[in-house]
Amino acid sequence: MLIQIVKNEWRNLTADRTLWWVTFILVVAIGYGVYNGTSWVHFLERSIEEALQDEHDRLAKAQHTVANGLEPERESRSPYSARYIGRRMGLRYAYLPPGPLASLSVGQSDLYPSYFKVNTQSTQRQKRHSELENPNHLLTSRFDLAFVIVYLFPLLILALSYNLISSEREQGTLAMVLSQPVTLRQFVVSKIGFRALIVSVLVIGLSFLAFLLNGINLFGDGASGQLLRWIAIVLAYSAFWFSLAVAVNALGKNSATNAIILAGMWLLFVVVVPSAVSLVVKNLYPVPTRVEFIVASREASMDARATEARLLSVFYEDHPELLPEGEEADMEEFDTLQWAAEMKVEESLKPVLARYDEQLLKQQGQVNRLRFLSPAIVTQEALNEIAGTGLARYRHFMSGVEAFHQEWRAYFVPKIFDMYEMTGPDFDEIPPYNYVEEPQGRVNRYVRVALVGLILPTLGIFALGLFKLRSYPLTG
């Protein structure tokens, strides 16, 4: 009997062309989402490639100039000094390479820089060019495959399932079906299971095709594991909406009422709750504004200039290891004085940046706790984590940038205070940058928690729907 139900369901779906429209819309949306995400990742890759090419050419030219004692193209106070090389000519780029799945979920990669210039100056100078007031922009990323899954996929599921039982009752065929050796629960499970199978095959097949079109090597860089995690999240998310459709159908309302209720649930879970969570988090833990950072930077710079007469001596008192052995501090030395002033400004700005980082961490922690209020938040955050475009990977990248910056300074700062003149071989000793990927164990744990956060409410809603079917009116 169940086979007959499935066959009849297939005839009904193909007869009213709903399935074909759903397939067409899904193909177009996924195709555009993949194209848009791929275009963004290609832009990032080109930017990083151009930056690295600039680094290679500049270092090679500088090394050739220094090694051969040539005159630099631009006049400089000390073109071969460690200060000049470490500050300008020898700077390197620290970059965050896009992950294998970055094109499928842009996430927050369009909110944060993908590379930084690392030199003897503070990395705070780089952060000035990025907007500091950054509440978590949940579900407002570019139109990519993740956007299609989070926003549009539920609508297509609900379009196929809003009249799951009500259409049979309105046509007068429900009582006839139940006169056969089948219960209402079996009938509903068969219908929803078949529709879920069709939609799941479509989205998984199209997602797999998107992987191939993006040139993702499924046998390298852990891409196969990422693909399986991606599919698991998508299936769990789709199961939630199918179970919600069953529960609403079990209320015994007509098809139009079911459609309105389900549309309201989509609006609640996909739009209202994420916006409310973002608003609550932003107000609970506001980050320092960009204006506050600029004012603090200006005040620190003015204070440093006003105290130049004693700034260098104070700096040497704090860092006696940098004072040349057997020499007194030269208060007229421009390089060291400027370095001391810059360190003073950097120290003054640390409280503002520390408060920003602290508030941002609190924001993300609160989002992690509140995300289970909406399956859309759980899914979006999980897809970002899988694609490597979430905040956690970016923070891992920034910690690596800070560590490399400290290594860079450890190489150049002693030379600056020794008034060292760089030679050709010195360029080979300049620290290189190597990105170390974040541990996949953290991502795996995050995805497992997300799956639990999707599966538990799905089972609860589905069980509630099956329970309500016991009192479902067969006529009326």
- How many CA atoms are closer than 13 Å to the CA of 29, on its beta-carbon side? 19
Average pLDDT across the chain, whole number: 79
Distance CA 262, CA 250 (A): 12
Residue 137's pLDDT is 41
- The answer to whether 471 and 256 are in contact (CB under 8 A) is no
Per domain, the residue ranges of the chain are 1-277+375-476
Residue 464's pLDDT is 94
- Classify residue 79 by its DSSP letter: T
Pairing of the two strands 92-95 and 115-118: antiparallel
Instruction: Give the residue from 370, 368, 400, 402 showing the smallest Cα distance to 384.
Output: 368
Q: Which residues contact 455 (CB under 8 A, 6 or more apart)?
A: 236, 239
Residue 373's pLDDT is 92
Beta pairing partners, 81? 421
Distance CA 207, CA 414 (A): 53
Give the 3-state secondary structure of residue 85.
helix
Residue 310's pLDDT is 53
* Positions in the chain whose pLDDT score sits under 70: 1-2, 4-16, 70-79, 122-141, 214-222, 288-346, 349, 475-476
pTM of this structure: 0.81
pLDDT digits (tens, 9 = 90+) for 241-300: 999 999 999 998 898 999 999 999 999 999 999 989 888 888 888 876 655 656 666 665
Distance CA 265, CA 252 (A): 17
Give the 3-state secondary structure of residue 95.
strand
